[in-house]
A and B are shown apart, each in its own frame.
Chain A
């Protein structure tokens, strides 16, 4: 069974700081998705990375897929209170179901 481990589990930072969240596995994934989830809501897709070594940018968020396609990172530059939420990585397992990481709960204080 493929597993996705995220670190750190919790992160509390001040507005304006930079941070990096990691998603690691011992297995190769054909792609990884990053989602953000607000309390009581569904996961909202941020990005899908497909190619090993790929880097994608979404405003202040930078996503990287590891060369071996076993890990991914999310870097946020100059975090804002609006970035607060639960960040989830997920990857396809088997035919096409998604398995989710353990999540990183980010709190950005003004």
Chain B
């Protein structure tokens, strides 16, 4: 069964450094998302992406964040200058037009 994959599974970085989180959505899906979950808190929406552009973003998704679909398979989330409060699990999700989103296993980001 096809699934969403994410790399790396864990990332430790210093405050102020740039990180790129990578996702490979399910191949015939058209809608892509990033969510994050701070330890012990709810899963929160960050950004949605369709037809090579951002369709919606949350207040969390400020100028330090960007997303890209550089080729036909990868979907990336970049944080330009990480802050301590960016430490969280980051989940990629995708769907092909229905209402059900399929989530990847997540990248655990720790900012020191």
Question: Is the Cβ of A33 less than 8 Å from the Cβ of B100?
Answer: yes
Q: Does B99 sit at the interface, judged by CB under 8 A?
A: yes
Taking CB atoms and an 8 Å cut-off, the chain A residues in 31-49 that contact chain B are 31, 33, 35, 40-45, 48
Task: Give the interface size class of chain A.
Answer: 20 to 34
Specify which of B33, B42, B95, B99 is in contact with A101 (CB 8 Å cutoff): B42
Among B65-73, B74-82, B104-112, the stretch in contact with A = B104-112
Tell me the B residues contacting A by CB distance below 8 Å. Answer: 4, 6, 31, 33, 35, 42-45, 48, 55-56, 58, 89, 91, 93, 95, 99-106, 108
Taking CB atoms and an 8 Å cut-off, the chain A residues in 1-51 that contact chain B are 30-31, 33, 35, 40-45, 48, 50
Which B residues lie within 8 Å of A94 (CB)? 56
Q: Does A99 sit at the interface, judged by CB under 8 A?
A: yes
For A29, the closest partner residue in chain B by CB is B99
Tell me the A residues contacting B by CB distance below 8 Å. Answer: 30-31, 33, 35, 40-45, 48, 50, 88, 90, 92, 94-103
